[in-house]
Amino acid sequence: MTETATKNFVIDFDSTFTSVEALDVLGSISLKNHPEKIDRLKKIAEVTDLAMSGKLSFRESLNQRIQILDAKAEHIPILITMLKKLVSKSFKRNKTFLKEHADHVFILSNGFKEFIYPIVQKYGIKEENVHANTFVFDEDGNIIGFDENNILSQSKGKPAKIEALKLEGEIHVIGDGYNDYEIRKEGKANRFYAFTENVAREDVVKNADHVAPSLDEILYHNKMEGALSYPKNRIKVLLLENIHEKGVKIVKEEGYQIEIYPAGIDEDDLCEKIKDVSILGIRSKTLVTKKVLEHANRLMAVGAFCIGTNQIDLAECTKRGIAVFNAPFSNTRSVVELAISEMILLIRNLPDKIFSMHQGKWDKSANGSFEIRGKKLGIVGYGNIGKQLSVLAEALGMNVFYYDLDERLALGNATKCKSLKELLSKADVVSLHVDGRKTNANVIGKKEFGYMKDGVIFMNLSRGHVVDIQELKRNIESGKIAGTAVDVFPEEPLSNAHEFVSELRGLPNVILTPHIGGSTLEAQENIAEFVPTKIIDYINTGTTTNSVNFPNLTLPILQDAHRFIHVHHNQPGVLAKITNTLAKHDINVMGQYLKTNDTVGYVITDINKDYDKDAIADLRKIEGTIRFRVLY
């Protein structure tokens, strides 16, 4: 093949142009009130899969499906409405490409033109370039068969149709089924792309010239301009610690390579695994250290699927041009609800009473059991969680006090304390909600426990290293602390298979939970949607909104331009050098955006598409450059 040859793209419809098999959807419409609906839909799906995998002749499968469908002409407009919403994502975003190359884009389907053309015409595909079967109706509008003279209703109909079309130039077939591969097998196409955005069929994938998770990948492979500027299947994503399936799905839909590991992994193993990883997703157990980052040759972004980022060396990430994103709000409610429930359990002395009941001991007594109404709640750390806890606790009748190093506006009737000592000496219940910075190590130790009232309820749902565990144990054993809830620990098991070891085990009126403050289905689903979306936006557009270590820039959608993304050390003169380099190559700047923090500068330049490609090499050579990439 030559680069200058005309390229004709022959595209399948079902599970390729659309994300579904159209006859399956038609069945859900036509059989809506049929008593055998479930069995018939299952049979349709089975027959479809057998045909797509090459295990059943297409004509036989078509005959069987039409008999099962019991469909009518009146169902087709409903089907069209539904299919319009089910066009594959990568085809939707590459609508411009399809329109610009309309003369060389063909739909070749064993489906039916009655519903195919109304879908694809919106994307600029010409009616004469749509080749498919047609229905046969009886006088009452029932679909009773198909045009058996149409070559596409026969086995190996697609290769025969391509031969009959006598297309000039190269023929590139895009499809998910074995009958699409047959075009290549019969020597009627130059290349076959197994399209796996919606479904991956083993018998098809193994025979493909190229496996394509999206149309973007195909355009990149052919050096043609699409909506995205990089090959998605070359971006490897490593997701650790049992990331919620919704997050996995979002990443998969982008067409990335994904490796999933259910637990945290230690530093040495991560050093090995991260070598070719572009995006890393973790929760709280995995440590992303300087040593790990020294092995991360391709890492572009880290997603912390949690609130905290103290497990990540942010400074080193920033120096290396690696953007870090977290979910600062997504699990706030879950942590607060756990805190409220645990303080009620503890102030009623329920952990011990529940244990006694399981031992057969009936201990009905009000001794050491109180209401939380009217009690003083001391919140150490008045951030997102602390504030929401404040509001809910006040609604339950508690008097709320808080202390924070930063200036924080009080919500409701909460009272700000001038010092930690003041707060600890007033509170009946102390709840910690501080961040993971190193200076917060043992922020509650012997002296701080000494400030607290006798009989205090103490809770830590923030970070494991902020409490001196030995001192906490002494104060529990002495009775000064009447009840304790701890959700986070200085050392935690890497997975559920490892033993939890702590000196707090077995102590009276103590609730120990396995770092589950944010572990509700709602919170994990919210986090799993928020973090990947931010990372994908950064990869696709350069937008850094909500990054915890990069200057935050919200960028406009790239239109009819190329975008240069330049990350550099924050030192004088870099922007001037970028501008001079662009001027040297006579590049027309359509828009430019700059933001810095103490460590790095972030410059985005949108330019006219027609430019000297040598400029890219010169921009990479600018002193202080950390990372440079181009978006199309």
Active-site residues, by number, are 463, 492, 515
Q: Which of 532, 531, 494, 535 is nearest to 515 (CA)?
A: 494
Cα 615 to the center of its chain, rounded Å: 34
Burial track 283-320 (b if 16+ CB lie within 10 A, e otherwise): bbbbbbeeebbebbeebbbbbbbbbbbbbbbbebbbbb
Task: Report yes or no: 594 and 627 within 8 Å, Cβ to Cβ.
Answer: no
| C-alpha separations of 27 from 30, 63, 65, 114, 526 in Å | 5, 14, 9, 16, 34
Q: Which helix (H) or strand (E) holds 220?
A: helix 215-221
- How many CB atoms are closer than 10 A to CB 614? 10
* Whole-number Å distance between alpha carbons of 578 and 597: 18
DSSP 14-58: IIIIBSS-HHHHHHHHHTTT-TTHHHHHHHHHHHHHHHHTTSS-H
Q: What is the DSSP letter of 607?
A: E
Q: Give the single-character DSSP code of 383.
A: S
Cα–Cα dist 157/111, whole Å? 12
Q: Which one-letter DSSP state was computed for residue 499?
A: P
> Rounded CA gap, 315 and 309, in Å?
11
The helix/strand/coil state of 191 is: strand
For 100, residues 6+ apart whose C-beta sits below 8 A from its C-beta are: 124
> Is the separation of the CB atoms in 410 and 402 below 8 Å?
yes
